[in-house]
Amino acid sequence: MKIKRFSPKQRRVMGWWAPGSPDHRFDAIICDGAVRSGKTLCMGLSFVFWAMSQFDRQQFAFCGKSVLSLRRNLLQELLPLLEELGFKCREKRSENLVTIRRGNRENRFYLMGGKDESSAAFIQGVTLAGALLDEAALMPRSFVEQAIARCSVNGSRLWFNCNPEGPQHWFYREWILKAEAHNALYLHFTMEDNPSLSQRVIKRYRTSYSGAFYRRFILGEWTAAKGLVYDFFDPQRDARPQPEGEMAEYVVSVDYGTANPCSLGLWGRQGDVWYRTAEFYYASRHTGVQLTDQEYVAALARLVGDKPLRCVVVDPSAASFITALRQAGYRVIKANNDVLSGIRITASLLKQGRIVICEGCGDCLREMALYRWSEGEGGRDAPRKEDDHAMDDMRYFAATIAARAAVPSGAFCSVSRRSGD
C-alpha cells in the first residue's frame, strides 16, 4: 500500500495529542464536515499513534455504527497502512478484537457497534484508556455516553468523527457547540482537505447532491432539511417518455399497504439506466374496499405481463404479502429500509439520470411534488408520513437494486415465475 501524503489539517489531527503540540491541552478531538474530506483515516492513525506511544497493555475501543461499517470504512485501509509503518496488527474477528504491537508495547483495540439503544449494554463493564467513535452522529446518545464513561484510565482521550445531520441533533448541540466546555479540539473538514481527491472527483460529488444533502455532505453544514425532499425534481420538466427499444430486465418495487395505499413500481433497465415504466397504486380508503394479498399478487402479475421479471423488492415488514408472492413463484428481495440513506441514494441516482420516471407514472410524479420533510424526534430528519407510498417503493428500489454496481443480467437475483404458473 502506498503511503499517502496528508494535508496540513490532516497532519494537525494526527499530532494534536503530542507533547509540544499547541493542541496538547485538549482531552478530545471532534472532526466533522464534508464526505470524502479525509477525516476517517487520519483520525484512525492519530488514535493508534497516541495509544501506542502513551500506553502499554491497555484496552481501547474503535466504535462505529456497526462493526461491519467500521471494518469497511476504517480498518480495511488503516490496518495495512499501520503494517507498512512498522506496527504488527493481529485481528481476531470472532472476538471483534485487534491487537497492535510495536517494539515492546502491545495494546488491545475492541471493535464495537452502536446501531441502536440496546448497543450500550455491550460496552458496559469494560475499562478503556481511549475510544474513537466513527460516525458518532449516527449512534444513539446512550451508546456514545456509555463509551465516554468507560474511558476512566488516567490520561484517557476521545476521538469523534462524523458527517453533519440537522442543527437540533444532540451531538451537535451537546458536543460541537460546547466543544470548549468539554475541552475538545474542533476541526471542520472540506473535500479540499483531502489531497487524494482530484478536481474531477470533487466536481462529481458536488453534482450528486442538492438541497439539504448538498449543504451537509458537500459544504459540511449542520442544516435542517426543509421543504420538498426532491426539491430539484420538476415533474413536468423531468418526466420522460417511454424509452424505445427492449429492456434487458425488469424489477418490481412494492410499498405494501392494506389500510394505507399500496404502490407497485415496474422498473426496466437499458444499459445502466433504470426507467419506471408503469405502476399500480391502490388506496382502499378511497374505494372503501380492501384487497387481499392474493388480489395484490394478481395486480402485480398484470403489471408485469410477459416481461422478463428478475425480482420483486418489498418492504421487509410486509410478511404476509412476501409469503403470498413466494407461494405464487416470485423471488422476493427484502428491501433496504434505511430511510435517510435511501432518500440520499435516490436523490443522487435521480440527479445522475441513473433512475428515470416515465410520463405515465402519474402517482409517482404526483407524490414527487408533495413529498416533504418533517423534523423527526430528537432533531433527526424524517419525511412526512403522507404522500409517501410511491416514494417509499422508489426508495426501496433505488437503495436495494439501482445503487448496486453494474452486474451481468440476472447475476444478483435471477428470478422468474415457476414453470406452469
* 231, three cell numbers: 426539491
The DSSP code for 401 is: I
CATH (domain of 267): 3.30.420.280
Tell me: do 21 and 111 sit in the same domain.
yes
The DSSP code for 387 is: S
Tell me: do 239 and 197 sit in the same domain.
no
Strands lying side by side in the sheet with 332-334: 332-334, 309-314, 249-255, 262-270, 273-282, 355-357
Tell me: do 200 and 243 sit in the same domain.
no
Tell me: do 68 and 198 sit in the same domain.
yes
Tell me: do 136 and 285 sit in the same domain.
no
Distance (Å, whole) CA 207 – CA 198: 15
Per-residue pLDDT 10s for the chain (421 aa) are 455 689 999 999 999 999 999 999 999 999 999 999 999 999 999 999 999 999 999 999 999 999 999 999 999 999 999 999 999 999 999 999 999 999 999 999 999 998 777 777 778 889 999 999 999 999 999 999 999 999 999 999 999 999 998 888 899 999 999 999 999 999 999 999 999 999 999 998 888 887 788 888 899 999 877 888 998 999 999 999 999 999 999 999 999 988 889 999 999 999 999 999 999 999 887 787 889 999 999 999 999 999 999 999 999 999 999 999 999 999 999 999 999 899 999 999 999 999 999 999 999 999 999 999 886 555 567 898 888 999 999 999 999 999 984 333 333 333 333 333 3
Domain range holding 318? 235-402
* Total tally of structural domains belonging to the chain: 2
| Predicted local confidence at residue 377, as pLDDT | 54
On whether the pTM is more than 0.75, the answer is: no
Distance (Å, whole) CA 276 – CA 397: 10
Tell me: do 46 and 183 sit in the same domain.
yes
Distance (Å, whole) CA 64 – CA 388: 30
What count of residues does the chain have?
421
Say if CB 60 and CB 131 are below 8 A apart. Answer: yes
| Predicted local confidence at residue 382, as pLDDT | 84
Tell me: do 251 and 301 sit in the same domain.
yes
Angle of CA points 190, 193, 196, to nearest 5°: 120
Tell me: do 369 and 292 sit in the same domain.
yes
**339, part of any domain:** yes
Tell me: do 200 and 246 sit in the same domain.
no
CATH (domain of 88): 3.40.50.300
**218, part of any domain:** no
**125 Rama class: left (phi>0) / alpha (psi -120 to 50) / beta:** left
Tell me: do 114 and 258 sit in the same domain.
no
**361, part of any domain:** yes
Residue type, 391: M
Tell me: do 183 and 245 sit in the same domain.
no
Residue type, 173: R
**216, part of any domain:** no
